[in-house]
Amino acid sequence: MDKKNALRAGALAAGTTLMMLLMSSPALALTRDDGDDPGTGLSVAETLGLYVALPLVIFAAITGLVIVLDKSKTEHRVLKPGKAKA
């Protein structure tokens, strides 16, 4: 019975995906709307900076702030195996 349910779920997922692909029309993206003014595109360096470097810098800043502003007591910290408490 499990195999039948898995097959039914797979068929449903495949059918749904196929219908979504057929109903979405990327050709309509070429048609401009009134008042549409997209501007210039981003270069490769700008794209990498915006979507890769900037999130990494923000993550590093948040991590640094958490480490610097950590006020937990040393006796509550988890130590690596083999290390003795000071």
- Domain-embedded: residue 68: yes
- Give the residue numbers spanning the domain of 65: 43-72
- Domain-embedded: residue 4: no
pLDDT at 78 exceeding the cut of 60? yes
37-67 tens-digit pLDDT: 888 999 999 999 999 999 999 999 999 999 8
b/e map 3-41, b = 16+ CB within 10 Å: eeeeeeeeeeeeeeeeeeeeeeeeeeeeeeeeeeeeeee
Region 66-79: mean pLDDT is: 80
Domains held by the chain: number:
1
